Amino acid sequence: MIITYNHAPYIAEAIESVLCQETDFPFTIHVIDDCSTDGTSDIVRDYAARYPDIVKPFINKKNLGNPVTQKNFYYGFSTLDGDYAAILEGDDYWISPYRLKAHVDFLEANPDFVACANNTVKIYQDGSKPPHIFQKPPDKDVHDIDDLIMVSSFFHASSLTFRNVFRGRVPRYMRSPLSCDIFITIAHAQHGKIKYFDEAWSVYRAHGGGLFSQMSQTKGWMWNIDSLQACNRWLGYRYFPRFAKSIYHYCDVLLTNGREEDGFTPEMRRKYTAVRRRYRTFDQFFRNADIALSRWIPGRRAKTTGATLNLGCGHLRYVPYVNVDCRKDVDADMIVDLEKTPWPWPDNYAGGVQFDHSLEHLGADFKTFQAIMRELYRVSMDGARVIILAKHPWNDTFRNDPTCVRVVSPPVLAMFDRGTSLAAKPEPVAVQNGVDFELVKRTAVLAEPYKSRFQNGQLPPEEAARLVDSSLNVCSDFQLELRVHKPPRSPDALSALGVGNSSAPDATQAAQR
């Protein structure tokens, strides 16, 4: 389906990019033209005359549209009668002849998926900027409705192919001025998962006639907040907790960075401050109630299970995570003193955990640190990733900070890994505490000037590694990753895998950051 309005300079390229698709199945191109006034309609009719079995023109007798053509999108979806629907706007185009086949083949083989997406190149028609990848690719290839509501996953319309779940019965909210490609994707994601291909198979063209490409960032944030609230209503509040978190975090961004010259007036600031307060209260209530019920009711699984915990967040709050701190002034999602156990989360709750320069401030005595590691193990799911960023103990930022009370280094964390030689010594710490954290990544981040010298090739890797192990202020941080094993790996299993005799990883990889 190609949606177009006054795209005369571009529409032929869009249609040609679909015609050149190499598939082993038939397809039609529904071109939905919203009564263009610049000759676009004539170009569409010409292609329909040349390819009567493929190009199907739907030319509106009068202009339907809102400025961003949602009514035209709605009408276009109502014309679709195939098993799948790919979207393209008339000023965008595809750049791979295999894009459509790759998407359809995957959806045919995976009925639990409702859509496919791929990466997108953004080009600037006026040449003001060089072409670039539209956005940073997601760090996973399977996405769900929660990812979309949190706007942690976003796919450009030109990259999407949907299973035709509506079959002409299109939800009326897709006519709303507040609907757009992300909310169309959310509407479909109620019915399944989304597969992401990290290949740039489509092009988004930014030009003076495009509404979103010309919208200021401040207006975009306000539009997104209003749209998220509307989408929450459209879906019958079934995903209210996720919408609440997403909306209040968007409000945080707007209230911090909104520009008055772009329409963020004092009146608008008061409005969105109230919106933020309301959804923040909802978010905290739902999360705390969900966790409490899962601990009080035997066998009840928390609906927020699988969340990523950002422990000791301080002011570094991340949108998709549950941000946790002991201080009330940082406005964390949950106020928890991590040195006091047990923690409030149920067993096997967290799908991931992050300590961003916080673990070195916990567990001054080893008994308390062990209790923290036991609780971390208890609340984490099997296979959970624990990402730790910590100040390097040989750096002055650690040595001169009296709140840094715990060395967090590969040898320390290796004591909780049953696959290292430390775990085989008498009374191993990992066995004593009933835990098994596999240390899968250990990187020492170089400080300046060593970082620049390493990046420029002036500091060989061997010399960098020697300095890391022998000198002060060479490294600024450790980047460490643990993988949770539940149940703990047995000695026989470790032996079969050929692990368990390695020495403690006190020599770390020097890296640029």
- Full 3-state SS string of 172-202: HHHHCCCCCHHHHHHHHHCCCEEEEEEEEEE
* pLDDT level of residue 499 (50, 70, 90 thresholds): low
* pLDDT level of residue 421 (50, 70, 90 thresholds): low
Full-model pTM: 0.77
Report how far apart, in Å, the C-alpha atoms of 269 and of each of 244, 371, 448 are. Answer: 19, 44, 41
Domain co-membership, 340 together with 380 = yes
Residue 424: CATH number of its domain: 3.40.50.150
Give the Cα separation of 482 and 180 in Å (integer): 39
Q: What is the pLDDT of residues 340-353, one digit of tens each?
A: 999 999 999 999 99
Q: State the total domains in the chain.
A: 3
The helix or strand, by DSSP H or E, that contains position 85, with its residue range, turns out to be strand 84-86
Kindly state the average pLDDT of the residues 319-328. 90
- Give the range among 75-79, 103-107, 270-274, 474-478 with minimum mean pLDDT: 75-79
In a domain, 293, yes or no: no
Question: Are 133 and 119 in contact, with CB atoms under 8 Å apart?
Answer: yes
Domain co-membership, 351 together with 482 = yes
- Give the range among 72-81, 177-186, 258-267 with minimum mean pLDDT: 177-186
Kindly state the average pLDDT of the residues 481-488. 97
Domain co-membership, 72 together with 123 = yes
Give the Cα separation of 388 and 508 in Å (integer): 15
Domain boundary among 214, 246, 261: 214
pLDDT for residue 502 is more than 50: no
In a domain, 398, yes or no: yes
pLDDT for residue 511 is more than 60: no
pLDDT for residue 185 is more than 80: yes
Domain co-membership, 477 together with 356 = yes
In a domain, 441, yes or no: yes
pLDDT for residue 513 is more than 60: no
pLDDT for residue 168 is more than 60: yes
Domain co-membership, 383 together with 453 = yes
Question: Are 499 and 419 in contact, with CB atoms under 8 Å apart?
Answer: yes
Domain co-membership, 259 together with 333 = no
Instruction: Identify the bridge partners of residue 479 per DSSP, sorted by sequence position.
Output: 389, 443
In a domain, 144, yes or no: yes
| Most confident residue range from 2-6, 164-168, 219-223, 369-373 | 369-373
In a domain, 294, yes or no: no
Domain co-membership, 125 together with 104 = yes
Give a three-class secondary structure readout of 212-259. HHHCCHHHHHHHHHHHHHHHHHHCCCCCHHHHHHHHHHHHHHHHHHCC
In a domain, 221, yes or no: no
Tell me the two tokens of residue 308: 């990523």
In a domain, 396, yes or no: yes
Report how far apart, in Å, the C-alpha atoms of 257 and of each of 249, 254, 329 are. Answer: 12, 5, 20
pLDDT for residue 73 is more than 50: yes
Domain boundary among 288, 318, 340: 288
In a domain, 446, yes or no: yes
Position 64 scores a pLDDT of: 81
Domain co-membership, 116 together with 243 = no
Domain co-membership, 151 together with 179 = yes
Domain boundary among 155, 185, 214: 214
Position 404 scores a pLDDT of: 96
Give the Cα separation of 309 and 322 in Å (integer): 5
Q: What is the pLDDT of residues 432-463, one digit of tens each?
A: 999 999 999 999 999 999 999 999 999 999 99
Residue 331, sorted as left (phi over 0), alpha (psi -120 to 50) or beta, turns out to be left
pLDDT for residue 160 is more than 60: yes
Q: Given the DSSP bridges, would you call strands 193-206 and 142-143 parallel, antiparallel or unpaired?
A: antiparallel
Give a three-class secondary structure readout of 297-355. CCCCCCCCCCCEEEECCCCCCCCCCEEEECCHHHCCCEECCCCCCCCCCCCCCEEEEEE
Reference 369, options 409, 401, 315, 333; nearest CA is 409
**DSSP result, 440-452:** EEEEEEEPTTHHH
Domain co-membership, 408 together with 475 = yes
Domain co-membership, 328 together with 451 = yes
Reference 92, options 239, 206, 226, 169; nearest CA is 206
Q: What is the mean pLDDT of the chain?
A: 90
Residue 169: CATH number of its domain: 3.90.550.10
Kindly state the average pLDDT of the residues 33-57. 95
Give a three-class secondary structure readout of 3-43. EECCCCCCHHHHHHHHHCCCCCCCCCEEEEECCCCCCHHHH
* pLDDT level of residue 67 (50, 70, 90 thresholds): low
DSSP 361: G
* pLDDT level of residue 135 (50, 70, 90 thresholds): confident
Q: What is the pLDDT of residues 87-127, one digit of tens each?
A: 999 999 999 999 999 999 999 999 999 999 999 999 998 88
Question: Are 163 and 110 in contact, with CB atoms under 8 Å apart?
Answer: no
Residue 294's φ and ψ, nearest 5 degrees, are -70, -25
Domain co-membership, 207 together with 233 = no
pLDDT for residue 506 is more than 50: no
Give a three-class secondary structure readout of 66-83. CCCCHHHHHHHHHCCCCC
Position 469 scores a pLDDT of: 85
Give a three-class secondary structure readout of 472-508. CCCEEEEEEEEEECCCCCCHHHHHHHCCCCECCCCCC
Instruction: List the domain range (segments joined by +) for residue 393.
Output: 305-511
Question: Are 335 and 321 in contact, with CB atoms under 8 Å apart?
Answer: no
